[in-house]
């Protein structure tokens, strides 16, 4: 039996997310531990992590959308991933003095914040919560590693399609018109996330619109035929013979 499957991956991710939220809520409400964690309301543009600045702590997202990115030497930004409710931000910098990535709120965000000193105390004294943090990180790392492996198989158009579908899986909303994306719709952001040039991304968008697979209305992208986009990716990623542990298609794990 495959170790990794769409069902197991989704169920495990949801269980860990719910357990983390429940246990952090207990800490925040109990009189003996509520000083260790704070509930924060963050406005659009707030930096949850600032690259090369001293590490302050971590956030557990309760509501809202966050973009995690790296600023390159030429001042261009490279989008690494996106985070939404049930996910951690800043945890990968726990054992460093400075953040190695930045994270910005894309809109109003609600989150639990734990500073580094309190986090180390929590991890030391609460084995259950420590294990939940480890499992949450393991799932995130697993997905990132699988994604990187498959990106090498995709031509430019499929990279852009993959980026669109991944953004849609995080932020998309099902409407009568299709799967609507209203965040991270700038061509340069999608190009950055897909690791494709802006010029190529613009050309690919024209192709997808001409093929009636997507449409663009004002600042929104609407996926009209998700199934066909998924099938285009599967022509590449599912054509590879993989070990039994990776028999399930990466695209199905989105």
Q: What is the pLDDT of residues 44-77, one digit of tens each?
A: 999 999 999 999 999 999 999 999 999 887 778 8
Q: Residue 186 sits in a domain of what CATH number?
A: 1.10.10.10
- Cβ neighbours of residue 101 closer than 8 Å, sequence gap 6 or more: 49, 51, 68, 69, 70, 80, 92, 93
What Cα–Cα distance (Å) separates residue 140 from each residue in 8, 124, 219? 14, 22, 29
What does pTM read for this prediction? 0.86
Residue 2 contacts residue 247 (beta carbons within 8 Å) = yes
Q: What local confidence, expressed as pLDDT, does residue 90 receive?
A: 92
Q: Residue 79 sits in a domain of what CATH number?
A: 2.60.120.10
Residues 93, 131: one domain? Answer: yes
4 burial level (CB within 10 Å; 0-12, 13-18, 19+)? middle
User: What range defines the domain where residue 239 resides?
Assistant: 154-253
Asked if residue 92 belongs to a domain, the reply is yes
**Dihedral class, residue 90 (left if φ above 0, else alpha if ψ from -120 to 50, else beta):** left
Return phi, psi of residue 54, to 5°: -55, 140
Would you give the DSSP letter of residue 211? T
Q: What local confidence, expressed as pLDDT, does residue 245 receive?
A: 44
CA pseudo-torsion sign 39, 41, 44, 50: negative
Residue 48 contacts residue 62 (beta carbons within 8 Å) = no
pLDDT < 50 regions, the chain: 1-5, 7, 242-247
Residues 41, 127: one domain? Answer: yes
Q: What local confidence, expressed as pLDDT, does residue 191 receive?
A: 95
User: pLDDT by residue (tens digit) across 100-114?
Assistant: 999 999 999 999 999
Looking at 149, 184, 219, the residue that finishes a domain is 149
Residues 14, 140: one domain? Answer: yes
Residues 123, 180: one domain? Answer: no
Looking at 117, 149, 181, the residue that finishes a domain is 149
Instruction: Indicate the number of domains in the chain.
Output: 2
């Amino acid at each position: 039996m495959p170790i990794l499957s769409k069902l197991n991956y989704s169920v495990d991710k949801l269980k860990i997310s719910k357990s983390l939220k429940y246990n952090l809520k207990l800490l925040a409400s109990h009189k003996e531990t509520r000083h260790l964690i704070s509930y924060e309301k963050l406005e659009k543009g707030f930096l949850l992590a600032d690259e090369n600045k001293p590490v302050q702590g971590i956030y557990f997202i309760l509501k809202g959308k966050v973009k995690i990115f790296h600023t390159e030497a030429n001042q261009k930004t490279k989008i690494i991933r996106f985070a939404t409710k049930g996910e951690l931000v800043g945890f990968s910098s726990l054992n460093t003095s400075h953040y190695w990535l930045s994270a910005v709120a894309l809109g109003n965000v609600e989150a639990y914040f734990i500073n580094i000193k309190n986090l180390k105390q929590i991890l030391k004294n609460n084995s259950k919560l420590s294990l939940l943090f480890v499992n949450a990180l393991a799932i995130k790392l697993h997905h990132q590693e699988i994604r990187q492996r498959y990106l090498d198989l995709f031509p430019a158009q499929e990279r852009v399609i993959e980026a669109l579908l991944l953004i849609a899986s995080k932020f998309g909303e099902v409407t009568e018109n299709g799967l609507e994306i209203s965040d991270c719709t700038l061509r340069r952001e999608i190009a950055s996330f897909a690791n494709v040039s802006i010029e190529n991304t613009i050309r690919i968008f024209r192709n997808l619109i001409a093929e009636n697979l997507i449409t663009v209305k004002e600042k929104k992208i609407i996926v009209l035929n998700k199934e066909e986009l998924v099938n285009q990716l599967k022509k590449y990623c599912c054509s590879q013979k993989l070990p039994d542990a990776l028999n399930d298609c990466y695209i199905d794990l989105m």
